[in-house]
Amino acid sequence: MFTVWGILQLLRRYPGRLPDMELMFDCDDKPVVRSSDYSGPNSTGPPPLFRYCGDRWTMDVVFPDWSFWGWAEINIKPWNDMLKDIKEGNNKTKWIDREPYAYWKGNPFVAETRRDLLTCNVSDEQDWNARLFIQAQAIGKAASDFIQEELKMDYVYDYMFHLLNMYAKLLKFEPRVTQGAVELCSEVMACPADGLERKFMTESLVKSPSVTGPCTMPPAYEPRVLGAFYRKN
């Protein structure tokens, strides 16, 4: 539901600047469009399947997770409000005074790397080796700086804007409203909602069109440059 809400907010932020389109969206986390299935000389093009996750072995079209606009079931606020809480939390307690525990929430069966996290619990024998405060502080600061500077909602919306516009240009048919389709707008979604769903919709509602346009995309990378960048990262 909040994925649809996010798209509606994008339309409010940049009204009239997104073309008509049709897309397929899979709400499961695990990507399924494997690159190896579409790499042969006689292979067809991969299906443009949108989802929340991707990796180096798959070609699913990665789209922002719905929790940027709130996750009512587990009381995760919209991202702008969450960022404010993170900043306040960072300033509230000095690093040296914090409890030496890490908290991670997620589904360990999405990827093998996540299952590795389940083996990171501290034991009496490993305690001295696990608490590397200086390195942990540097890692924590770098991660915090990244999410505060590089994951702003302005950038999330601009990514969505360019992704959907470029996707629409690849369509080889004219999208039409199918029989039985239901039209949605922010009011239609928010008015019948209640509780945290309504609260988070209200808090994440785009109040007016953006006074500035979306960011400008740089020219497309040459395959050689893009390959070097991919190998480096």
In tens, the pLDDT along 214-227 reads: 999 888 778 888 78
| Total tally of structural domains belonging to the chain | 2
Helix (H) or strand (E) holding 50: strand 49-51
| Same-domain status, 59 and 164 | yes
What is the mean pLDDT of the segment spanning 67-94? 91
- Whole-angstrom CA distances from 157 to 7, 77, 174 are 9, 17, 25
Residue where a domain stops, chosen among 150, 175, 195: 150
Distance CA 137, CA 95 (A): 7
Residue where a domain stops, chosen among 150, 179, 210: 150
| Same-domain status, 163 and 219 | yes
- Quick one: 89 exposed, middle or buried, by C-beta within 10 A (0-12, 13-18, 19+)? exposed
pLDDT at 24 over 70: yes
| Same-domain status, 161 and 139 | no
pLDDT score for 63: 96
The string of pLDDT tens digits covering residues 35-71 is: 999 988 888 999 999 999 999 899 999 999 999 999 9
| Same-domain status, 158 and 69 | yes
| Same-domain status, 143 and 199 | no
| Same-domain status, 65 and 102 | no
Distance CA 155, CA 217 (A): 12
| Same-domain status, 11 and 60 | yes
- Whole-angstrom CA distances from 203 to 24, 54, 134, 199 are 28, 29, 37, 6
Greatest pairwise CA separation for the chain in angstroms: 65
Distance CA 22, CA 212 (A): 27
pLDDT score for 206: 97
Full residue range of the structural domain in which residue 35 is found? 2-74+154-232
pLDDT at 130 over 60: no
Closest C-alpha to 140, from 183, 181, 95: 95
- Paired tokens of 146: 């990244």
Helix (H) or strand (E) holding 62: strand 61-62
| Same-domain status, 226 and 173 | yes
Rounded to two decimals, the pTM is 0.84
pLDDT at 170 over 90: yes
Residue where a domain stops, chosen among 104, 125, 150: 150
